[in-house]
Amino acid sequence: MAEFQIVGVIGKLDDPRVAPTLNALCGHLLRRGCEVLVDRGARALLRRSAARVVSRAELARHSDLAVVIGGDGTLLSAGRTLAPAAVPILGVNQGRLGFMVDVAPENFRAALDQVLKGRYVRERRLLLDAQIRRGGKLRGPFLAINDVVLRNQAAVRMLEFETWLDDEFISQHRADGIIVSTPTGSTAYALSGGGPVLHPSLEALTLVPICPHTFSDRPLVIGSDRAVRIVLSGARGTRATCTCDGQHDEPVVSGDSIEIRRSPHVLELIHPSNYRYFNLLRNKLHWGQERAPVSR
């Protein structure tokens, strides 16, 4: 019996450029004998097809594999629904940079055929859960694939906040905010903020201050087995935002704390069998041409 018999398809919302790939992909899967579930958000892009249109929650409950067509933002949105259901994701890149959606649209048939035959690379990426504590009440948890970010709402004033690792005090900060990033998110906002690139296999997080007031406030790399706590201080009326993956916002005020820990869920990514992480980085970050292995 094939490993992936029911395949969910999720397309970038309201983007007609996705329609040709989405329809061709659904047709290809149906011809291969798969049952195809299409996310309701992409219904307007779907031509007449034997594919079944369902809610994203139902797609997550029943799919053996999900194919996401769009950019990394589309995959992040889908992944927060699919990860708790342990549905692996194959990404077809119709966005811009595409660190996680690594299959080119013109190559999706060959890539899908290999995946359906069991020839692929499977990755498990760690995720974050964030909760916001105000007094004795908690909001959350909110799931994040890339990062949890505390950022300023004021146009000119910096934020003042503390960082803790479990009950161990790290530092006081004056900055525009801070990024707590997974290895997956280390090539996203954290990279723009001067943070290091972490290999996806690492059990680690980065703490990257955003435009800190002092040059000595540098990015940190920590283990993922301990909780990060960010306590917003400053004057009464200080307002900030806690953002997960740049897509889900929660208000934060002075005295609130953001508690971030490794999620029990993981994101499973499916790649073509020739996938190599550093080859991806070279192509996306323009590091240079691939070189042949050095014989020993």
Distance CA 65, CA 80 (A): 15
Give the pLDDT confidence score for residue 2 in this predicted structure: 73
Distance of CA 287 to the CA centre of its chain: 23
Using an 8 Å Cβ cutoff, are 128 and 207 in contact? no
Give the pLDDT confidence score for residue 235 in this predicted structure: 80
Domains of the chain: 6-118 (3.40.50.10330), 127-264 (2.60.200.30)
Q: Which amino acid is at 143?
A: L
Distance CA 38, CA 41 (A): 8
Give the pLDDT confidence score for residue 1 in this predicted structure: 53
Give the pLDDT confidence score for residue 292 in this predicted structure: 67
Query: At 277, phi and psi to the nearest 5?
Result: -60, -45
Element (DSSP H or E) covering residue 112: helix 108-116
What Rg, from alpha-carbon coordinates, does the chain have? 21
Give the pLDDT confidence score for residue 296 in this predicted structure: 66
Catalytic residue among 39, 72, 176, 245: 72
Give the pLDDT confidence score for residue 14 in this predicted structure: 76
pLDDT tens digits, residue range 228-275? 999 999 888 788 999 999 999 999 999 999 999 999 999 999 999 999
Give the pLDDT confidence score for residue 50 in this predicted structure: 87
Q: Which portions of the chain are predicted below pLDDT 50?
A: none
Beta bridge partners of 66: 8, 89
Q: Does pTM surpass 0.85?
A: yes
Distance CA 25, CA 113 (A): 11
Using an 8 Å Cβ cutoff, are 213 and 174 in contact? yes
Q: Tell me the two tokens of residue 272.
A: 């073509």
pLDDT tens digits, residue range 29-42? 999 999 999 999 99
Using an 8 Å Cβ cutoff, are 56 and 79 in contact? no
Q: Is 147 a catalytic residue?
A: no
